[in-house]
Amino acid sequence: MTMCGTENPTSNNKTSCVSPANGNGMTLPSFPSDHVLNLEQGDPTVFESYWRKMGDKCTMVISGSELMSYISDFTSVCWFLEPALEAAVRRFHRTVGNAVVDGDRHIVVGTGSTQLYQAALYALTSPGRSEPVSVVSAAPYYSSYPDETDYLCSALYKWTGDAYAFNKTRHGPYIEVVNTPNNPDGTLREAVVKNRSDQGKLIHDLAYYWPQYTPITRPADHDIMYFTFSKSTGHAGSRIGWAIVKDREVARKMSKFVELSSLGVSKDSQQRAAKIMGVICDGYENCKSTDNSELFFDHCHQIMGNRWERLRKVVEQSEVFSLPNYPKKYCIFFGDSVEPYPAFAWMEAEEDVDTEKVLRGQIKVQGRTGRRFGVDQRYVRISMLSREDVFNHFLERLSTITSVTNGH
């Protein structure tokens, strides 16, 4: 059996990947029914078609002698942050209205938000405590938090699991990660640990707080919040994330982490991110003369809406799964009341089964089990961000399921 779409980077079972996974813009062959459709990761290849349509507008050209130095700007708290990216990030957020970047806000660039999550843990802790600081997030939580927190067995911090459980027992100093909209379930989140004191600190993971996924209700304004190029524009391969940080000393420590971890962040990708963000912003600034469907967030919101509509139809007809319902909210970006279209479908089986296994067994679709997110195996997370043909095959196969106990 071969695996189509993308395969699980965190698992060890390597299988070959057929040509549909190559994003070369060619017409893709149809998938044989025994090919596994991989919808386990949130690989954002759905947005490739938009960028292909943009043609040369975003083409990045770097000569052999450019961007060679380690250093970008020594006057900055984050000395390896390209000034062009810093300016583009601030402009991007001003255009979208999803984060406060004016006033005393520091930008720290990271090799994806993965590195920034760890930079934030490092910045909020100090050596010399008798116990590591607890790191918690409300279940269902992003499945990579536990491993990314614990893989080096740090004495600084330690994954402690569901923030709701922590709230009840109170274990001393902690960091709560608030992921909103939440991966995997798309809900809007606030901190859940109550009676927070000096003992508790917050990190806001806003990877999905972009108009294609969720109504932008206000500019986020938290102490430490981070975003990523992967989920905002779909450029996961560039590994660019950025944090917006209020406290200068926290920003300095986060930068120090990135320095110790990788001596900075690819300047090639920083410049590419700056260029692409700029093209999106240019589009909205000139939007009177532009067909709205050519504007990035408008276009992608339509794609996501279309996928969600089709998915809901199939799920309703099958009567064996359910999906969360998300209330419409007023979006300050679109200037209208809009429905959330999360990056993942958080599917629950109506019966008590291992839904990941059911999908893999019955229709050769690879999702990620709820257990990885700290909840029940009845849940499975399915990526909504695959290429169109993979998504279409997924719906086609899903529509054939009439019972979750069939064939088991």
Q: Which of residues 285-324 bind a second copy (CB under 8 A)?
A: none
Which residue from 31, 45, 231, 372 is in contact with a second copy, where contact means CB under 8 A?
Answer: 45
State which residue, 148 or 388, has the beta carbon closest to a second copy: 148
Q: Which is nearer to a second copy, 75 or 293 (CB)?
A: 75
Assign residue 94 a region (left: φ > 0; alpha: ψ between -120 and 50; beta: otherwise).
alpha
Degrees to nearest 5, angle at CA 400 with 364 and 315: 100
Closest CB to a second copy among 69 and 293?
69
Closest CA to 240 of 248, 232, 250: 232
Q: How many CA atoms lie within 13 A of 152 on its CB side?
A: 11
The CA dihedral of 188, 191, 193, 197, to the nearest 10 degrees, is -170
Range in contact with a second copy (rule: CB under 8 A) among 94-102, 159-167, 263-271, 334-342 = 263-271
Looking at residues 327 to 356 of the shown chain, list those that interact with a second copy (rule: CB under 8 A): none
Q: Is 63 in the site for a second copy (CB under 8 A)?
A: yes
Ranges within 80-119 binding a second copy (CB under 8 A):
80, 110-112, 114-115, 118
Block residue for tokens 């090639």: 268
121 near 149, Cβ under 8 Å?
yes
Token pair listed for 18: 């057929």
User: Considering only 20-28, 84-92, 95-103, 345-353, which stretch makes contact with a second copy by CB under 8 A?
Assistant: 20-28
Helix (H, G, I), strand (E, B) or coil at 339: coil
Region of 95-103, 205-213, 219-227, 261-269 interacting with a second copy (CB under 8 A):
261-269
Residue ranges in 131-190 that form contacts with a second copy under rule CB under 8 A: 144, 147-148, 151-156
> In whole angstroms, how close is the CB of 362 to a second copy at the nearest point?
23
Among 30, 33, 52, 328, binds a second copy (CB under 8 A): 52
Helix H or strand E segment including 269: helix 267-285
Q: How far apart are CA 253 and CA 329, in angstroms?
A: 37
Contact 47, 299 (CB under 8 A): no
Q: How far is the CB of 317 from a second copy (least distance, A)?
A: 31
The interaxial angle of helices 267-285 and 296-318, nearest 10 deg, is: 90
CB of 271 to a second copy, least distance (A): 9
Query: Which residue's CB is nearer to a second copy, number 269 or number 355?
Result: 269
Rounded to 10 degrees, the C-alpha dihedral 25/39/160/219 comes to: 50
Site for a second copy in 231-260 (CB under 8 A): 234-240, 252, 257, 259-260
**Which one of 13-21, 177-185, 199-207, 325-333 is the stretch in contact with a second copy (CB under 8 A)?**
13-21
